[in-house]
Structure 1
Amino acid sequence: MNRWYLLYCKRGEQSRAKLHLENQAIECYYPQIEIEKIKRGKRQIVSEPMFPSYMFVRFDYEQGPSFTTLRSTRGVVDFIRFGAQPQIVSDALIDELKQLESAQSLCDGHEILEPGQSVSVKAGQFAGFEAIFKEADGDARSIMLVNLINKSVPVSIDNRDLDV
């Protein structure tokens, strides 16, 4: 019977481990999320593993390959265990992770704002103000134009304080 197990992989070698495991006819899954990052001053959306260095594999250990064979695959360190045997992961958990991964529409917990988009500030020193999004200021903050004394002033505000 095919069951899911959790593997610990060498840092940054999940794709290598996945390639070698799939060559052994093992079903592999490591959920990825899309995150908006600023690299060299430009906003980019990149895919990163949801659980760095961990991967789910599905196989029937009674028919093969053995746990030892999988552990000695390039890029793999070992199975996650509780006691002597590798721990079985429920199918429901994997299904839920797949649904979350496919339904992902937010980046880093916030919607992607477009320049000129109107936003209200819900917390912080500018709570209750209406602001206009100007640009991202790192991963967690945004430059907003706040109208103070009939003049738009650029202010850096934490993204958690914005109500889109």
Structure 2
Amino acid sequence: MASSWYVVQTQVHAEIKAAINLGRQGYSVYLPRYLKHRSHARKVETVARPLFPRYLFVAIDLAAQRWRAIQSTLGVSHLVCVGDRPALVEDRVIDALKVREDRSGFIELARRPAFSPGDQVRIVDGAFVDSLALVEDVSDHDRVAVLLNLLGRKVRVFVGADLLAAS
């Protein structure tokens, strides 16, 4: 029997640790990642993030490999199972993810939809999370000027386009 892909849930922020330890045990591991732009302390940096936080894929030949050992691997929370059998992931799912990878091995995400002045948006992260705002202006640096209703008046705030969702 050939290897098939299964899902492993990792401990929080331990995807790479789990992938390394599973690899040391002879398993083939696939951890799809993407590049995220992160702003911190007036610096913008690009960091690799898992596409599915706390999850990775492992190829197992259930007839030949001792798959229960995955449960006690450092960084692994558990192997996702249906009943007492690991949950199978179809090869086409893994193939579709790999097709979207760039030369560096990172998944290319679709760009967020462009916002236009006058659009109502919701802030999804940061100090103003879950606040509704009105788009005032969109700059060419992925920054959006929005108007927030704070203390009874409209206040202009600049927010990264990745922190906004259409409302």
TM-score range, shorter chain: 0.5 to 0.7
> Which segment drifts farther, 38-47 or 87-96?
38-47
* Aligned-residue identity in percent: 23
CA distance in 1, matches of 2:69, 2:8: 13
Aligned-residue Cα RMSD (Å) equals 3.1
CA distance in 1, matches of 2:138, 2:144: 10
Q: Which has more radius of gyration?
A: 1
1:121 maps to what in 2? Answer: 117
1:13 aligns with 2:17: no
For normalisation by structure 1, the TM-score amounts to 0.68
Per the TM alignment, residue 120 of structure 1 is displaced from its structure 2 partner at its CA by: 5.6
Q: Is the 1:7–1:55 contact (alpha carbons within 8 Å) kept by the matching residues of 2?
A: yes
1:89 maps to what in 2? Answer: 89
Corresponding residue SS for 1:93: helix
Per the TM alignment, residue 81 of structure 1 is displaced from its structure 2 partner at its CA by: 1.3
- Unmatched runs of 5 consecutive residues or more in structure 1: 112-118, 145-154
1:38 aligns with 2:18: no
Per the TM alignment, residue 135 of structure 1 is displaced from its structure 2 partner at its CA by: 5.5
Per the TM alignment, residue 143 of structure 1 is displaced from its structure 2 partner at its CA by: 3.7
Per the TM alignment, residue 87 of structure 1 is displaced from its structure 2 partner at its CA by: 0.9
AA paired with 1:133? S
Aligned length: 137
Q: Is the 1:135–1:143 contact (alpha carbons within 8 Å) kept by the matching residues of 2?
A: no
Corresponding residue SS for 2:86: coil
Q: Is the 2:117–2:138 contact (alpha carbons within 8 Å) kept by the matching residues of 1?
A: no
CA distance in 1, matches of 2:63, 2:109: 40
- Unmatched runs of 5 consecutive residues or more in structure 2: 121-133, 147-155
